[in-house]
Amino acid sequence: MHLPAVPPSPAATVPPRLRGMGKLHLFDMDGTLLHGSAAAIEISRQLGLDREIAELERAFAAGELTPPQFAQRACDLWAAELTELTVAAAFDGAPWLTGIQEVWADIRARGERCAVISLSPGFFVERLLDWGADATHGSRWPALPIREAVDPAGILSSAAKVRIADELCVQYGLTRADCVAYGDSLSDTELFAAVPQSVAVNADHHVSGLASFAYAGRDLREAYELVRTGR
């Protein structure tokens, strides 16, 4: 796949003496930390809207909907019925990979950093802070209960993942050369192209050819081990 050239990281100008040590591990969520699912699917399941969200997901995967359009359609679907309790139930019942908290604890014990960057709503993604992520970045969807329209400027994209990674590098005194990306699909392609190491986790064809490593399974510890051992 031919991808456009990616501009150099702003963090590349950080003087060596000010740069942090170790790595910054950047995790996608939908399809990566969540096995075969996504935040919107899990939320819709709680509301009994499995069929409706499946159609939106199909249209989005086919390129018929942009990220802001998908977000607005999902918000229209959920309307004012969505509450914090529903989101909590969706999060708790989601098919997470095993070993997420153990991996993040090991990363932090080594003096390294881990962050989640996802196109999904921030009110779902931010719950991963309690599991040990140093930072989480999700799209800015309307506050709950949903009574406002989606602001397209708050919805993340593949390019936004690179921008946020650069901002995190500056924050932690690192550069793109210190980053490892974990992802599974089209929204991860630009980040995979921007960093030297990447792991395709249960991935599709969009990133499988770009990744340094490939993992299929349900245990994040095994995917993480590929980075640690280099094989």
User: Average per-residue pLDDT in the chain?
Assistant: 91
Q: What is the pLDDT, as a whole number, of residue 21?
A: 59
C-alpha dist (Å) from residue 170 to 4, 18, 107, 197, 211? 23, 10, 19, 19, 24
Every domain of the chain and the residues it spans: 10-35+96-229
- For residue range 63-91, list pLDDT tens digits in order: 899 999 999 999 999 987 899 999 999 99
Q: What is the pLDDT, as a whole number, of residue 13?
A: 38
- For residue range 121-132, list pLDDT tens digits in order: 999 999 999 999
Please give the CATH superfamily to which domain 10-35+96-229 belongs.
HAD superfamily/HAD-like (3.40.50.1000)
Q: What is the pLDDT, as a whole number, of residue 231?
A: 72
- For residue range 163-205, list pLDDT tens digits in order: 999 999 999 999 999 999 999 999 999 999 999 999 999 999 8
- For residue range 118-170, list pLDDT tens digits in order: 999 999 999 999 999 999 999 999 999 999 999 999 999 999 999 999 999 99
Q: Per-residue confidence at 93, pLDDT binned at 50, 70, 90?
A: very high
